[in-house]
Structure 1
Amino acid sequence: MGIKRRFMHSRTIKYHAQMLSIIKKHVQASSNTFQYRFSSISKLLY
């Protein structure tokens, strides 16, 4: 029983790590697009 529980725990840790990496990639992409939009808007202003 304990071994199975430990296996499930390691699986959940891997799953959470994947989710975190996906979220990080998404945040980086959105911040890049935001910087791009901001720079284009500032070019229009100046």
Structure 2
Amino acid sequence: QKEAKALLMYAFSNAVIENIKIPELKQRITKIIATKLGVKMGFDL
């Protein structure tokens, strides 16, 4: 259930993340969000 909730929250944040043009920044923000949600994102951008 924790992962499902995190995935839903990530989906909402992804709308903003998609607009980031700098790959390094996008990856860093994704990691920060995953940490805040308490999950490990197991995929590449």
| Structure number, greater radius of gyration | 1
TM-score, length-scaled by structure 1: 0.37
Larger RCO (CA within 8 A; separation ≥ 6)? 2
TM-score, length-scaled by structure 2: 0.38
